[in-house]
Amino acid sequence: MHGLIIIHTGPGKGKTTAAMGTGLRAVGAGLRVLMLQFIKGSWHYGELDGVAAFGERFVIRQMGRGFVKIGAEKPDPEDVRLVAEAWAAAQQEMESGNWDLVILDEINYAISYHMLDPEPVAAWLRQKPEGLHVILTGRNAHPTLVELADTVTEMREVKHAYQKGIQAQRGIEY
Ligand code: ATP
Ligand code: MG
């Protein structure tokens, strides 16, 4: 098996949910799937209950506290600490041999807000276990990661309901 490095980035909707769609396909093919959600933690996303039925074959874990102040000059040290912890956990899980596909949800966002250095992530990915598939999601994927990835998709925003003032809908946005 040739483990792929895949990136879902760009401003349009669909990055995280496309990764979960791949997770669903992977589970059906007998692969074991782990999604680690960087940043996320406060909202209860539908997918957490959705994958519960798969037991240990498809696991989603939230590693953040849910919101990060954007536009602030420097990220909150508590968020930086949680991101560092999430990356440490990610490496451990990816090296464990317990998973065939690991999704690092919003890791690109954490890197773009300077909460995580892209270099160690790139270095780890260059020497990842051969058969392991990794998906990295989030806006503003770092050029170094884009360069080393096998497949990169940029979601382009044509329009979004939010712009009409329509609130986030349960089951669709979260
Ligand atoms: P999804 O989780 O629906 O696949 P995403 O991962 O592409 O979306 P994120 O940047 O992670 O998008 O944003 C997370 C949340 O913001 C989701 O609830 C998503 O529906 C919503 N969202 C995505 N794109 C936009 C947008 N252009 N404007 C407003 N909200 C958006
Ligand atoms: Mg997302």
Question: Over the stretch 76-109, which tens digit does the pLDDT of each residue have?
Answer: 888 899 999 999 999 999 999 999 999 999 999 9
Query: In CATH, what number is assigned to the domain containing residue 83?
Result: 3.40.50.300
pLDDT recorded at residue 114? 93
Rounded alpha-carbon distances, angstroms, from residue 158 to 2, 36, 49, 142, 161: 34, 28, 30, 23, 11
Q: How many domains does the chain have?
A: 1
pLDDT recorded at residue 69? 61
Instruction: Give the whole-angstrom CA distance, residue 87 versus residue 136.
Output: 12
Among 87, 31, 91, which residue's Cα sits nearest to residue 56? Answer: 31
Atom of ligand 1 nearest to the CA of 157: 27
pLDDT recorded at residue 76? 85
Residue nearest to atom 17 of ligand 1 (CA): 173
Residue 165 domain flag: no
DSSP letters, the chain, are ----EEEEESSSS-HHHHHHHHHHHHHHTT--EEEEESS--SS--HHHHHTGGGGGGEEEEE-S-S---SS-SS--HHHHHHHHHHHHHHHHHHHTT--SEEEEETHHHHHHTTSS-HHHHHHHHHT--TT-EEEEE-SS--HHHHHH-SEEEEPPPS--GGGGTPPPPTTTT-
At residue 169, does pLDDT exceed 90? yes
What distance in angstroms lies between residue 42's CA and the mean position of ligand 2's atoms?
Answer: 14
Residue 46 domain flag: yes
At residue 5, does pLDDT exceed 70? yes
Ligand 1 neighbours (beta carbon < 6 A): 11, 13-17, 137, 139, 155, 157, 160, 162, 168, 173-174
Question: Of the bound ligands, which one is closest to the alpha carbon of residue 105?
Answer: 2
Residue 86 domain flag: yes
What distance in angstroms lies between residue 13's CA and the mean position of ligand 1's atoms?
Answer: 5
At residue 122, does pLDDT exceed 90? yes
Q: Token digits for 67?
A: 């919101």
Among 86, 84, 94, 85, which residue's Cα sits nearest to residue 135? Answer: 94
Residue 122 domain flag: yes
Residue 10 domain flag: yes
Residues 19-74: pLDDT tens digits?
Answer: 999 999 999 999 999 999 998 767 788 999 999 999 999 999 998 776 666 666 67
Residue 162 domain flag: no
Residue 170 domain flag: no
Residue 171 domain flag: no
What distance in angstroms lies between residue 157's CA and the mean position of ligand 1's atoms?
Answer: 10
Domain coverage including residue 30: 5-156
